[in-house]
């Protein structure tokens, strides 16, 4: 049996990888993929602790997080396609569409 600390360590490494990807990279797709990695790190923690406590609550919440992540990816990719087709910018810092 794998100890819970191993799951937490892998989850922390995944979350930090996603955080570095969001903070350092400026490409839209890389930022979205990094957010997905961070959500998967949270899911890993939820499932690991639910398994450790013999509960299904963490697994149910993980399913909701997966559903929300799928919606976020769909909306995010739609926004990216609109921005790329308009050739507004390919860098996250150059987008100022929501400013007055």
Q: pTM for the complete prediction?
A: 0.81
Tell me what the mean pLDDT of segment 88-96 comes to. 67
Q: In CATH, what number is assigned to the domain containing residue 47?
A: 1.10.287.3510
**Is 18 within the bounds of a domain?**
yes
pLDDT of residue 89 exceeding 70, the answer is no
**Is 69 within the bounds of a domain?**
yes
Inter-residue contact 50 to 59 (CB < 8 Å): yes
3-class state of residue 92 by DSSP = helix
Inter-residue contact 59 to 47 (CB < 8 Å): yes
Higher pLDDT, 96 or 75: 75
**Is 40 within the bounds of a domain?**
yes
pLDDT, tens digit (0-9, with 9 covering 90-100), for 14-35: 999 999 999 998 888 888 899 9
**Is 98 within the bounds of a domain?**
no
Q: How far apart are CA 22 and CA 25, in angstroms?
A: 6
Q: By residue range, what is the domain housing residue 38?
A: 4-91
**Is 100 within the bounds of a domain?**
no
**Is 99 within the bounds of a domain?**
no
Q: How many domains does the chain have?
A: 1
pLDDT of residue 100 exceeding 60, the answer is no
Can you give 16-65 as a three-state secondary structure string? HHHHHHHHHCCEHHHHHHHHHHHHHHHHHHHHHHHHHCCCCHHHHHHHHH
- Cβ atoms within 10 Å, residue 36: 17
């Amino acid at each position: 049996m794998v100890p819970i600390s191993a799951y937490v360590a892998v989850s922390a490494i995944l979350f930090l990888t996603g955080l570095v990807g969001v903070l350092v990279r400026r490409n839209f797709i890389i930022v979205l993929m990094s957010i997905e990695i961070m959500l998967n790190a949270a899911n890993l923690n939820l499932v690991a602790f639910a398994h450790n406590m013999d509960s299904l609550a963490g697994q149910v919440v993980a399913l909701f997080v997966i559903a929300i992540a799928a919606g976020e990816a769909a909306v995010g990719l739609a926004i990216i396609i609109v921005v790329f087709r308009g050739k507004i910018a390919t860098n996250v810092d150059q987008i100022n569409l929501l400013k007055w």
